[in-house]
Amino acid sequence: MIAIEKISLAQYQKDRLDTAPGTQMTLPQLEEEYAGIILPRRGTLVSAGYDFHTPFSLTLEPGETLVVPTGLRAIMEDDMWLGIYIRSSLGFKYGVRLVNSVAVIDADYAWADNEGHLKIGIYNGGNQAIALKAGDAFAQGIFQRYYRTDDDEPINRRRTGGFGSTNL
């Protein structure tokens, strides 16, 4: 199965308050924002990327970084990963980048304790402030397959957390 779906409202609420500004939100405001989360779609028949949209309006000053909780998780087969990249025009026009260049989303992340919540860190590497409105596309995710070496012996652990959680 390959899918991108919403995480629960409870998980979204937790991560939204942890990682993004706007912690003064009321529950109805949060529910409205959650209801407005857009499921990624491809732009054209043969576009590779599923477009990710910010759930809330944001402004990034030059040099500033923000982790956008998408409210989404990706389900995929074991030999796949999802690569998330910046929307090209944001890079070309404004110098906006992902903080980690590419977000590598592992197949087992979907079953992590945080429901596999996809978080996308962006950085304004340009020289002007950039404003995104709720619903604006800012990143794109491409499902890909990976290979394993013949003598592959993975460290047999189940993922429970997000980035940095396995302390390798």
Nearer to ligand DUT among residue 62 and residue 121 (C-beta): 121
Q: Is residue 37 classed as helix, strand or coil in its secondary structure?
A: coil
Considering the rule CB under 6 A, would residue 19 count as an interface residue with ligand DUT?
Answer: no
Nearer to ligand DUT among residue 38 and residue 82 (C-beta): 82
CA distances from 90 to 38, 66, 83, 126, 138 (A): 19, 15, 17, 10, 7
Single residue of 121, 125, 136, 142 touching ligand DUT by CB under 6 A = 121
Q: Is residue 45 classed as helix, strand or coil in its secondary structure?
A: coil
Single residue of 56, 94, 109, 123 touching ligand DUT by CB under 6 A = 109
| Sole window of 2-10, 26-34, 55-63, 156-164 interacting with ligand DUT (rule: CB under 6 A) | 156-164
Beta pairing, strands 119-124 & 96-98? antiparallel
The single-letter DSSP state of residue 42 is: B
Q: How many residues bind ligand DUT (CB under 6 A)?
A: 16
The single-letter DSSP state of residue 28 is: H
Which residue's structure tokens are 């990976």?
146
Nearest approach, Cβ of residue 157 and ligand DUT (Å): 10
Which residues lie near ligand DUT (CB under 6 A)? 100, 103-106, 109, 118-121, 162-166, 168
